[in-house]
C-alpha cells in the first residue's frame, strides 16, 4: 500500500484509497483541460464553463482509471487471489494484489481485464458523443475527450513492457512457453525497463523543445516504469528464493513467555535490557494471550512504567497475526509486509512454537543469496 493515503470506502470488498500525490495530477489535468483544451476547442465558452468541464472531465477520467484497476482486481478475486486495496496516485492507479497468479492463463485473464475495460469505456463515451453530443457542446467536449483518453489508456497499457498490462500479457506467454515464472518475469521486466528509459529520453527531448510539463511528466512516468519493472522482478526472484521453505526453518524457538501481571518497568529492566529481545509473547495459564513489543513500550510515558502492567500494554492475541510452523516463508513475508509489522508469532494448536522477526527473514534471504542456494 502506498503511504500517505486517504481511505474512500470499499468496493467489492476492496479498500479504495487516494494517495496525496493524486491531488497533484488531478490539478494538472484539470488545469490543462480548463486553460488549454476546452478554450481552444470551444472558444465561445466562458472561463467558468471551461473550468467546470475540466473538473467534471478529470473526475470521470480518474473514475475510468479506477474502473480499469477494479476490473483487474475483480478478476483476480474470482481466481482466488486476495486484493486488499486499490490506490489512486500521481501515476494513475495501482491494485495491491497479494500474490502472483498461479498459472499463465490466470495471468493473461487478469492482465487483459483492465485494457478491455478501458476500451469498453471508450465506446461508452463514443456512444454518448454520438447520441447526445449534437444537442450539447458541453457533452460533446467532455465525452470526446473521455472517449479518446480511455482508448489511449488501453493502448498505452498494452505496450509489452512489464509491469504494464501488455508486459503481463507477454510474461504470461513466456511463462506458458518455458514454464518458468522467474525467467519470464526477467525478460518482461527488462523490456519494461527499456520502455521506461525510452520514456525518460523522450521526456528530456520534449523539455529541450520547450514542452516542460509534458516532458517532465513523460520522464517521471519512464522513471516510475523503470523502477517498478526492476522491483517487480526482484520481488518474484525473492519469492522464488523462499519457495519450499517454511516458518519452522527460520523461527526463533527460544521464546520465554512473560507473565501479564509484570509491570512494564520490570519487563524492561529484567528481560528486555538483559536479553536484547525486542518482543515477548505473553501467556496466561500456558496459552498465548498476547504479544508486547518495544513499540508498545515506547508508546507508554516513562513515569507510568512502574504502574502499567504488561496486560495493559500488550496487543491481545485476537488482534495478532500469526502463522503456523508449516506455512511457507512467502506467506510470512506477505504477513509482515501487508500488516507493516516487524515480527509474527508462530503458533501451533494455540501454543507458541516460535517467533519470526523481519531481521530473521532478511538474514535467511541474505545467506541464501550469498550461497547462491
For CA atoms 232, 233, 238, 244, the dihedral sign is: positive
Cα 314 off chain centre by: 29
**CA-wise closest residue to 182 among 235, 229, 227, 231:** 235
- Residue-wise pLDDT for 314-343, tens only, equals 988 888 888 999 998 888 888 888 777 888
Q: What is the pLDDT of residue 363?
A: 87
- Residue-wise pLDDT for 252-311, tens only, equals 887 778 899 999 999 999 888 888 887 888 888 777 888 888 888 999 999 999 999 999
**Rounded mean pLDDT of 184-209?**
94
**pLDDT range class, residue 186, cuts 50, 70, 90:** very high
> Any idea which residues carry the catalytic annotation?
69
- Residue-wise pLDDT for 223-242, tens only, equals 999 999 998 888 888 888 88
Q: Report how far residue 161's alpha carbon sits from residue 119's, in angstroms, rounded to the nearest whole number.
A: 19
Q: What is the pLDDT of residue 79?
A: 95
**pLDDT range class, residue 2, cuts 50, 70, 90:** low
If you search the block for the grid coordinates 483541460, which residue do you land on?
33
* Alpha carbon separation from 223 to 119, 229, 275 (Å, rounded): 26, 10, 45
> Is pTM beyond 0.85 here?
no
The yes/no answer on whether domain 247-371 falls in CATH 3.10.580.10 is: yes
244 vs 35, higher pLDDT: 35
Beta-carbon contacts of 44 under 8 Å, excluding residues fewer than 6 positions away, are none
Q: Report how far residue 242's alpha carbon sits from residue 204's, in angstroms, rounded to the nearest whole number.
A: 40
Please calculate the CA angle 83-191-228 and round it to the nearest 5 degrees. 40
> Is the per-residue pLDDT at 71 higher than 70?
yes
> Is the per-residue pLDDT at 1 higher than 70?
no
Q: What beta strand segments (E) does the chain contain?
A: 5-11, 14-19, 85-89, 92-96, 279-284, 287-293, 315-316, 322-323, 343-348, 351-357
DSSP letter for each residue of 207-271: HHTT-HHHHHHHHHHHHHHHHHHHHHHHHHHHHHHHTT-BGGGT-B-----B-TTSBHHHHIIII
Q: What is the pLDDT of residue 202?
A: 96
Q: Report how far residue 138's alpha carbon sits from residue 45's, in angstroms, rounded to the nearest whole number.
A: 9
Helix (H) or strand (E) holding 154: helix 137-157
Three-state secondary structure call for residue 13: coil
Share of the chain above pLDDT 90, in %: 60
> Is the per-residue pLDDT at 373 higher than 60?
no
Cβ atoms 149, 192 nearer than 8 A: no
CATH 3.10.580.10 residue ranges of the chain are: 247-371
If you search the block for the grid coordinates 494471550, which residue do you land on?
289
> Is the per-residue pLDDT at 3 higher than 70?
no
Instruction: Using CB atoms within 10 Å of the CB of residue 178, give its burial: 0 to 12 exposed, 13 to 18 middle, 19+ buried.
Output: exposed
The single-letter DSSP state of residue 307 is T
How many Cβ atoms are within 10 Å of 3's Cβ, its own excluded? 8
- Residue-wise pLDDT for 120-170, tens only, equals 999 999 999 999 989 999 999 999 999 999 999 999 999 998 889 999 999
**Rounded mean pLDDT of 105-127?**
97
Amino acid at each position: 500500500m502506498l503511504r500517505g493515503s486517504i481511505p474512500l470506502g470499499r468496493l467489492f470488498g476492496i479498500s479504495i484509497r487516494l494517495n496525496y500525490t493524486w491531488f497533484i495530477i488531478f490539478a494538472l489535468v484539470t488545469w490543462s483541460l480548463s486553460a488549454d483544451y476546452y478554450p481552444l476547442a470551444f472558444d465561445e465558452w466562458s472561463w467558468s464553463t471551461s473550468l467546470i468541464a475540466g473538473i467534471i472531465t478529470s473526475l470521470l477520467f480518474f473514475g475510468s482509471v479506477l474502473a480499469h484497476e477494479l476490473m483487474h482486481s475483480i478478476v483476480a478475486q474470482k481466481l482466488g487471489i486476495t486484493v486488499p486495496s486499490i490506490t489512486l496516485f500521481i501515476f494513475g492507479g495501482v491494485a495491491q494484489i497479494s500474490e502472483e497468479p498461479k498459472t499463465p492463463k490466470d495471468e493473461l485473464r487478469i492482465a487483459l481485464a483492465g485494457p478491455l475495460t478501458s476500451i469498453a469505456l471508450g465506446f461508452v463515451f463514443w456512444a454518448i458523443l454520438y447520441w447526445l453530443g449534437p444537442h450539447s457542446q458541453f457533452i460533446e467536449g467532455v465525452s470526446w475527450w473521455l472517449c479518446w483518453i480511455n482508448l489511449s489508456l488501453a493502448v498505452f497499457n498494452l505496450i509489452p513492457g512489464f509491469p504494464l498490462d501488455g508486459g503481463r500479457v507477454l510474461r504470461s506467454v513466456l511463462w506458458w512457453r518455458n514454464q518458468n515464472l522467474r525467467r519470464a518475469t526477467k525478460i518482461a521486466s527488462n523490456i519494461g525497463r527499456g520502455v521506461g528509459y525510452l520514456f525518460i529520453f523522450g521526456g528530456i527531448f520534449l523539455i529541450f523543445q520547450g514542452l516542460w510539463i509534458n516532458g517532465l511528466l513523460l520522464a517521471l512516468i519512464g522513471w516510475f516504469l523503470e523502477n517498478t519493472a526492476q522491483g517487480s522482478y526482484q520481488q518474484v526472484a525473492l519469492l522464488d528464493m523462499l519457495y519450499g521453505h517454511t516458518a519452522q526453518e527460520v523461527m526463533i524457538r527460544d521464546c520465554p513467555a512473560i507473565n501479564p501481571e509484570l509491570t512494564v518497568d520490570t519487563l524492561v529492566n529484567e528481560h528486555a535490557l538483559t536479553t536484547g529481545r525486542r518482543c515477548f509473547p505473553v501467556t496466561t495459564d500456558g496459552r498465548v494471550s498476547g504479544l508486547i513489543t518495544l513499540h508498545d513500550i515506547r508508546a507508554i510515558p516513562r513515569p507510568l512504567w512502574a504502574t502499567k502492567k504488561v496486560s495493559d500494554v500488550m496487543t491481545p492475541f485476537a488482534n495478532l497475526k500469526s502463522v503456523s510452523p508449516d506455512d511457507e516463508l512467502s506467506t510470512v513475508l506477505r504477513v509482515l509486509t501487508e500488516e507493516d509489522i516487524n515480527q509474527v508469532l508462530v503458533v501451533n494448536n494455540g501454543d507458541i512454537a516460535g517467533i519470526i522477526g523481519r531481521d530473521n527473514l532478511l538474514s535467511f534471504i541474505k545467506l541464501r543469496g550469498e550461497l547462491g542456494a
